[in-house]
Each structure stands twice: as C-alpha cells, then as structure tokens.
Amino acid sequence: MSHDIKTELEAAAFRRLLEHLRQHTEVQNIELMIHGDFCRNCLAKWYAAAADERGVKLDYEQAREIIYGMPYSEWKQRYQLEATPEQLAAYDARQKQKVQS
C-alpha cells in the first residue's frame, strides 16, 4: 500500500470517528477518558499539535471547533452533563492506575 493511500485511508477513518462522536453526543468526555484514556478535547489537542508540526497556524479553540463540529462552548451548553460522583471516582481510579503502571 502506498503512503498516499495509507494517509487517505487514515484520514477517512478519522473523519468517520469524528462523525460518530458527533452523532453520539450522549457519550460524555469523562466516559471516553475513563474507558479510552482520550476524549474529544484530546483529539483537538492532537489536531492542533499536528498543525503546529506542519507550520499551520491553528489554535486549540479552532481545533476544538473542528473536532466538535461547532464551538466548544455551544457543544458544552447543548450536550455536556455534570460528571457524576461515580464517573469522577472512576476517572480518579483510572488516573491512579496510569501512575502505577
């Protein structure tokens, strides 16, 4: 497989991931962090870092808008729920597990 085709496939898969996350707004970022050790904000940070590595001017807020499909403040108002005590405990346990390994 050529490098160009591989890059196209990776880009297509990434676009599909973003669309999937946009369709599943019920999945909260804290749940993604607990179970996958990443969230939409992580994707935005990675996207902004990739832009920076290539000399493309793109700040974190711009990257978040790309990832969320709207300004983060709007997404947060529409879809983000307050984390439950159980979610916070699970997140803390996940973080402690990462430190110990």
> Residue range 84-89: average pLDDT?
95
**Considering the entire predicted model, what is its pTM?**
0.90
Strand, coil or helix: 84? coil
| CA 29 – CA 87 distance, rounded (Å) | 11
pLDDT digits (tens, 9 = 90+) for 15-60: 999 999 999 999 999 999 999 999 999 999 999 999 999 999 999 9
Domain that includes residue 32, residue range: 3-100
Domain of 74, CATH number, reads: 1.10.3340.10
Split into its structural domains, the chain has a count of 1
Place of tokens 């179970």: 35
Residue 85, pLDDT score: 95
Measured from the Cβ of residue 44, the count of other Cβ atoms closer than 10 Å reads 22
